[in-house]
Amino acid sequence: MRRFLITGMVVLLPVMASLYLIWLFFSFFDHLFAPVGQYLFGRPLPGVGVFLTLLLVLGTGMLATNFLGRRVIDLVGCLLARLPLVGSIYRAMKQIVDAFSQPHQTAFKRVVLVEYPRQGCYTIGFFTGWPKGELAMMGDEQLVSVFLPTTPNPTSGWLLLLPERDITYLQMPVEEGLKLVISGGVTAARAREMAVVQPGGRMGTC
């Protein structure tokens, strides 16, 4: 019974968390657009906000795929970024979404190993580029930017500026690096279990 409960939780937790986030998103807009249903039909109708939200998402996507629409969206983004309090929130959220929606094209270029937080202890990081200006050099050495994410939430972490000789580039794709961080190393452990072959050709585990 205990094994069944744990297995059921492991299977259902990511599904329920995803559905909960979707429900929060559509529930927010459903309440936001409730006055529209009241105005059109004379009484509030459940689901009108969800339908209008879908139209809003589709319309924004269609607008963002053409040149003129992209210019309009960029203009709105620039206006939001200039607002005192909203601008800070907007810029932070946009950077996070851009970094994790297209990691191979934007911020995260390669997966690296960094000896951190002490000697002999290594942390997975993501090479993000070369800093410019006064952060570019430390003495005679060129510095590189490395983002160290936290587990299991890679949207938080901290930035390291260190000499390139202190990092080790990995051949691992960025997507695999993110999976490794989010799973807390579980994906790497499973891959090693599948790779171990016992005498006689049978698969074994470590």
Q: Per residue of the chain (206 residues), what is the pLDDT tens digit?
A: 777 787 777 777 777 877 888 788 777 777 777 777 666 666 666 667 677 777 877 887 887 777 777 787 778 878 877 877 777 777 777 766 666 565 444 567 789 999 888 888 888 999 988 888 777 777 778 898 899 988 877 777 888 888 888 889 999 888 888 888 888 877 665 555 444 443 444 444 34
Q: Which domain, by its residues, includes 70?
A: 2-101
Q: How many domains does the chain fold into?
A: 2
Q: Taking the model in full, what pTM does it have? A: 0.48
Indicate whether 200 belongs to any domain: no
- Are 58 and 122 in the same domain? no
182 closest CA partner among 146, 157, 201: 157
The secondary element (H helix, E strand) that includes residue 57 is helix 48-64
Instruction: Determine contact, residues 71/79, Cβ cutoff 8 Å.
Output: no
CB within 8 Å of 117: residues ≥ 6 apart? 123
**Could you tell me the two tokens for 113?**
């190993």
Indicate whether 77 belongs to any domain: yes
